Structure 1
Amino acid sequence: MNKTTWAMVTFSVGLGLSACGEEAGGPTVEQVAKAYEMYMNVNLATELGQRIEVRGWEDFKPGCKSSGPERVKCITGGKVELMGFQGGEQTVPKPVSVPAEFDLEFEKRENTWVPVRAQKK
């Protein structure tokens, strides 16, 4: 997957978690965390021959607000727990907690929130 197609991966809306912001029906915290993971893998980790997984988002604080028709922007805060992999092997024994560095924008397509943009803080 290249940098221009990362946004084409969709996420199911009905995961049973609350919306990440005041925007009723917006993406869940899990959806925002997974979009964050996907963005990091496409734009950062693959350049190093690595893969990153978001393993924990309990301290991840995205606030999502409408940014246009069928669009929400999620300003991230807090921390995510990341696990790195190199050649299929874990690079550290347990996930590392790091501050959220990217804000994400989602667009609703066919009743699904799709990440369309990420911006470094």
Structure 2
Amino acid sequence: MKKIIYTDNAPAPIGPYSQAVLMGNTLYTSGQIALHPSTMELVLDDIETETQQVMENMKAVLEAADMSFDDVVKTTIFIMNMGDFARINAVYSKYFDEKTAPARETVQVAGLPKGVNVEISMVAIKS
């Protein structure tokens, strides 16, 4: 049975979607951008700060489903500028153990919601 996951510790959806959907033991997250959950203001100081806010938002969604980054099996990173890849990756890598890191793709896109520079979505499985 499908269960909608919601937490006040991550930004409220800005459209007709859920923060995440839990189906059985698999969690499908919506993409997170660098909205601060309490103010709904964008955190765009620099690409590292922006990426950290995205990851903290994702952490809150995972925790709301009683999961952690250890449960993540797949991520998708959408970025506006592939030139930011190394800087985004440096922040992203702090949240995963390199030996057990999830599968991932990183895609440069023409545009992202609210003009942000990075959006990340994840799939996690609770074993």
Q: TM-score range by the shorter chain?
A: 0.3 to 0.5
Structure holding more strand per residue: 1
Higher relative contact order, chain-length normalized (CA < 8 Å, sep 6+): 2
Structure holding more helix per residue: 2
